[in-house]
């Protein structure tokens, strides 16, 4: 079995693959100051809950945008799994996808993984929107080249800044969109602005990016708030929630056994 781990700024997503089948996956809070021993306790609990024998895990691949997590997870893999993980970086995937950034090393590992997974599945030009700590737009050519993208403050980060800086505005939970865009009270107005506003931003960015691409890309979304925003967006065609995990599996299958 293959253990895949994607460390984001807010959440860490973990998956177990048996061949090409995702058997189990978990989303946990990213802990920046834990130790390998503490991560092992957490992993034990997750594996035990699903009756997973870690002796059946023979391969590990990790992507991370949190530098402090690298030595922690590296130590966990070597000490408790007896395995050396494959770490994602632009150089490790350049044979699978040319990265046409001015400096390829600046592209986040998760963005590369998403791009590889999406192109492997759709084999066409794409715009991938990942609703994470930041909302990222990644643009892929018809030839499977990573062209670049855009980075926007994430929905929750922007919301938190609003609540902190506007002292009279109440903190609201963003679980569902109000029925109407024109709010009739403060809470409805905040929800409308955050949810419909982000959907409009997505549609505007997609429209402008599509004009620059001179093609008709497929528009995919992933990340925690992708299902909510996709219901309102006029451009998002499909939500692919396991995109990052699938990308890690694909990359390992292509380069991990070489």
Half-sphere CA count of 247, side-chain side, radius 13 A: 30
The answer to whether 20 is a known catalytic residue is no
Under the phi-then-psi rule, with left for phi > 0, alpha for psi from -120 to 50, and beta for the rest, what region is 152?
beta
For residue 152, the cross-strand partners are 135
Tokens of 80: 């408790």
Point out the catalytic residue in the list 6, 110, 130, 138: 110
Alpha helices (runs of H) in the chain, residue ranges in sequence order: 36-49, 69-76, 90-93, 109-122, 155-165, 186-213, 226-230, 243-251
Query: Torsions phi, psi of 40, nearest 5?
Result: -65, -40
The catalytic site residues sit at 110
């Amino acid at each position: 079995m293959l253990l895949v781990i994607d460390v984001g700024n807010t959440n860490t997503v973990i998956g177990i693959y048996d061949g090409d089948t995702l058997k189990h996956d978990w989303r946990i809070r990213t802990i920046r100051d834990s130790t390998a021993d503490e991560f092992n306790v957490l992993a034990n609990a997750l594996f035990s809950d699903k009756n997973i024998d870690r002796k059946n895990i023979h391969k590990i691949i990790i992507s991370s945008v949190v530098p402090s997590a690298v030595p922690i997870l590296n130590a966990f893999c070597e000490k408790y799994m007896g395995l050396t993980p494959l770490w994602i970086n632009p150089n490790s995937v350049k044979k699978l996808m040319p990265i046409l950034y001015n400096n390829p090393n600046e592209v986040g590992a998760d963005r590369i993984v998403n791009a590889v997974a999406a192109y492997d599945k759709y084999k066409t030009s794409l715009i991938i929107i990942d609703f994470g700590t930041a909302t990222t737009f990644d643009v892929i050519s018809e030839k499977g080249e990573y062209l670049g993208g855009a980075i926007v403050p994430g929905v929750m980060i922007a919301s938190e800044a609003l609540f902190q800086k506007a002292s009279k505005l109440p903190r609201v939970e963003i679980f569902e969109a109000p029925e109407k865009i024109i709010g009739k009270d403060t809470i409805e107005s905040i929800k409308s602005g955050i949810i419909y506003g982000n959907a409009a931003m997505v549609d505007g960015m997609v429209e402008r990016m599509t004009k620059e691409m001179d093609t008709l890309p497929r528009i995919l979304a992933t990340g925690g708030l992708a299902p909510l925003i996709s219901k309102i967006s006029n451009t998002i065609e499909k939500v692919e929630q396991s995109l990052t995990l699938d990308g890690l599996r694909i990359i390992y299958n292509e380069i991990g056994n070489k």
